[in-house]
Structure 1
């Protein structure tokens, strides 16, 4: 039986990201995907600059820029298309070097992820391979799968398995994990349209707060547009697959464009849910992406969470496999990511409820309150700032309980010299960011440990970041998260 260090179940964005990161560390992995090729229908359409930074880490900086569109933020509209509130995002390079929000077509993203993965000989992607069973023992995991083309049953042995197999995850079932309902369920119609016509709309996300039927609109590509509408009782997506029946819903945005110039490429029903797996790991098996969490789409964080999972786990797993990290540190994956995912789900629930709930009473409140929301301290930042909550305290996030700290937050991908940024210098290693000049002994010790040494020059973005966090030194993990921050370089025993 063939043996590999890592088997990844599912070749969606989370699985492809995990595979690429592992391959960059030289870890051999096999990705088993039940579909023959890329699933053709668009699903996720948005990501933030933190996740854009992950794509750049994969080597997709230019390729993703070519298929994506920075968006201007969020507009809240009433039933008469009047703007109640507008929250603008910065489309220029922010703290991570990328626009705060980008829109894209998921099949195009998966295509560039697959092409990029093919550069690494240690990663093998096998389509038409449907995993049917997982069996763990003390030394590894036996993965059973079926070749859907030939019908043959095969198996492979792995040291670790990453379950990136979506909401109906077999991997999750195999470790007896269950999804906990966090109290949000709505049925929505998701519509994707292609047209050469220019709709001439504001280039951001439109949230349509009609008490009769809430909706969302955004332009996701040069010719691609996305609408989402809440389904009424008794309605299904089949009621809107014909453009003649669909047009009354989208005509507020399409205006007088002839129906013949609007091509519906998908009209599907989705149930938006807020759910979190009660456990993300059983010994050698881990859950990532939709297998571990489901987020309502109102803040565009569903796919983002899966890529964050991969970024958090890959370097730890690579370190365990090459013997530089103890196996016990793999426990930090669930500790850190589960808390973060829950916080983002709660935020998505809050935003979704505020924009869609309450019927006519809710509509009256929104019309009265929304135009004044920019006056509420911190609310504009909540709606537009892409910075997400810090990670929970763990053995790899050393955070004092009662003192402000940078630990658990991402280090900015700041410009250091010329065109080089923090990530270019750190290059997937631990990094020491310091505002004072290390001694020769300290430099030698940092170099011996293979860490990058980055000096935060006075007046620089990193220098200001350290000062804001009350620190002079930060130890930054390979995933860009601050492990610890303080006044002195850490001692190395």
Structure 2
């Protein structure tokens, strides 16, 4: 009888979302198995844009610097009228989350970096050429049947299964048969990439030309991409023939036949969202959960939000730090925002890919007339039209104070701070892979009962007290906690000062994905933290993983929690 391999988390699909989840679980110390039916990274022209939230996710996984080595940071996006007039430029200057908001990369390169990151963890294994063919779940876990390229089958028993296996997800579509609601857009698009970039255009350009809308952008290492709308009657496969590719490019480059086209593929745009992101012990992430048109570059970024939101919850549940039923909060927190991003992309697409010449002319006149209005220009330039995630339900604590609750469920800023050792670091790097109670110029739990402090320890919650930079010794002493485990940090960029100054709170509780779970005054901290712990923590009898054994990476038959 074939032995059953046991592992806390099985990730199906080793694309960027699935491998990011596995890297995060590796950071959190959770043994994980990742499988993918493809033996190698797919060399297709795929996602190109990563925003500041995605980079913050890579930072949490310890891979931001490695990913940046193959990126172009802080890239503008321009929108052009039918007569090639620029009517809008998007270049956000803010780095409130610690990174630039518009960055370009080549997905095949990025995927290679993410997969190499898994090698850091002896408790995380990547199996390629391996597909999921069946699953059955019960109250305690999921039984998965895997098939290898040689036809051999094996059974894996996991506590949780993550389906990040793409828009045609075997898990969602074939095994769970979950509804995937939305629309498939009528126009296909041909995507063409060449090397030795023939254009001096270091930006992303959306050309709203009714005769054939197209996108043109510069990628790392001399790559140039074009995306052209196809019209009814144009066969997708025919349009990939060299003569047709040259025909599409003829109006944009001289001698297109001399270009070295390295990738070309036809895509259909979809706007779809799974009815539920959580089904028992199975979670959907990335394109398996939602597909968006590429107009605002948020397809992969939405998947990275899934990864950050889901990974820490799985880790805390598996480690016995959080009630298992709180996994449903992943759907509560991610579903509505994923839909909002799709709706925005659909709106952009309908406006920018307009083929009716009169309607396009009216659109161009409108945008050209408003581009000099300061408030409108700032709204566009700083990407303020992008809906930011905000959770009113899920793993958040609302106190009933409207001013304070407005802060809850939003991503917190990430300034650079100075540690007690004199080192200047990004805030997330100081916190590490933990929850954090961050207070401003006070220790709100200085007189907290030992039981509460023990509960926060069970949650793996670090306590940080922030003070003004270069404060006098008297203030430093006043803000220093008598508890040795509380670290004091200096607000060297003055960003924490500005944040706390206008919000009438003394502390925030930050989740591992850097969203504010609770906020309040110093006097309310003990009661609110006790309520949060009571809501989140399971009973003490829950099993947990304290150390991540190396056996999984070495091919052991079983890893049990």
Q: TM-score range by the shorter chain?
A: over 0.9
Task: Tell me what 2:462 maps to.
Answer: 452
Task: Tell me what 1:169 maps to.
Answer: 169
* Contact residue 85 and residue 373 of structure 1 kept, 8 A: no
Partner Cα separation in structure 2 for residue 21 and residue 7 of structure 1: 13
* Contact residue 288 and residue 309 of structure 1 kept, 8 A: yes
For residues 60-459 of structure 1, the aligned pairs below 5 Å read: 60-90=63-93, 94-148=95-149, 150-173=150-173, 174-181=175-182, 183=183, 185-201=185-201, 203-254=202-253, 256=254, 258-357=255-354, 359-374=356-371, 375=373, 377=375, 380-382=378-380, 384-385=382-383, 388-399=387-398, 403=403, 405-417=406-418, 418-438=423-443, 440-441=446-447, 449=457, 450-458=460-468
CA RMSD of aligned residues (A): 2.3
1:490 is aligned to 2:525: yes
Deviation at 1:382, TM superposition (A): 4.9
Larger Rg, first or second structure (1 or 2) = 2
CA 1:246–1:176 in 2, change beyond 3 Å: closer, same or farther? closer
Normalising by the residue count of structure 2, what TM-score does the alignment of the two structures yield? 0.82
SS in 1 for 2:95: coil
Partner Cα separation in structure 1 for residue 402 and residue 375 of structure 2: 24
CA 1:384–1:231 in 2, change beyond 3 Å: closer, same or farther? farther
SS in 1 for 2:525: coil
Partner Cα separation in structure 1 for residue 46 and residue 34 of structure 2: 21
Partner Cα separation in structure 2 for residue 259 and residue 378 of structure 1: 38
* Contact residue 442 and residue 506 of structure 2 kept, 8 A: no
Deviation at 1:407, TM superposition (A): 1.1
1:52 is aligned to 2:55: yes
* Partner of residue 19 from structure 1, selected from 13, 19, 22: 22
Partner Cα separation in structure 2 for residue 89 and residue 244 of structure 1: 39
* Contact residue 188 and residue 228 of structure 1 kept, 8 A: no
CA 1:87–1:26 in 2, change beyond 3 Å: closer, same or farther? closer
Deviation at 1:186, TM superposition (A): 4.1
1:481 is aligned to 2:478: no
CA 1:250–1:485 in 2, change beyond 3 Å: closer, same or farther? farther
Partner Cα separation in structure 1 for residue 235 and residue 453 of structure 2: 60
CA 1:373–1:204 in 2, change beyond 3 Å: closer, same or farther? farther
* Partner of residue 464 from structure 1, selected from 498, 508, 512: 498
Partner Cα separation in structure 2 for residue 442 and residue 224 of structure 1: 58
For residues 32-43 of structure 1, the aligned pairs below 5 Å read: 32-43=35-46
Deviation at 1:252, TM superposition (A): 4.5
* Contact residue 185 and residue 268 of structure 2 kept, 8 A: yes
SS in 2 for 1:210: coil
CA 1:456–1:358 in 2, change beyond 3 Å: closer, same or farther? farther
Partner Cα separation in structure 2 for residue 184 and residue 487 of structure 1: 49
SS in 2 for 1:162: strand
Deviation at 1:85, TM superposition (A): 2.5
Partner Cα separation in structure 2 for residue 274 and residue 380 of structure 1: 28
SS in 2 for 1:118: helix
Task: Using the TM superposition, name which of 294-303 and 68-77 deviates more.
Answer: 68-77
Deviation at 1:131, TM superposition (A): 0.9
Partner Cα separation in structure 2 for residue 443 and residue 46 of structure 1: 48
Deviation at 1:75, TM superposition (A): 1.2
* Contact residue 211 and residue 362 of structure 1 kept, 8 A: no
* Contact residue 214 and residue 356 of structure 1 kept, 8 A: yes
* Contact residue 194 and residue 262 of structure 1 kept, 8 A: yes
Structure 2 unaligned residues grouped into runs of 5+? 469-492, 531-561
Partner Cα separation in structure 2 for residue 235 and residue 24 of structure 1: 48
Deviation at 1:453, TM superposition (A): 2.8
Normalising by the residue count of structure 1, what TM-score does the alignment of the two structures yield? 0.92
Number of residue-to-residue matches in the alignment: 486
Deviation at 1:234, TM superposition (A): 1.1
Partner Cα separation in structure 1 for residue 247 and residue 88 of structure 2: 24
Q: Residues 60-100 of structure 1: CA distance to partner in whole angstroms, max 9, x if unpaired? A: 2221111011243221112332222223233xx71122221
* Contact residue 197 and residue 261 of structure 1 kept, 8 A: no
Partner Cα separation in structure 2 for residue 126 and residue 83 of structure 1: 47
Partner Cα separation in structure 1 for residue 344 and residue 60 of structure 2: 27
Partner Cα separation in structure 1 for residue 389 and residue 74 of structure 2: 25
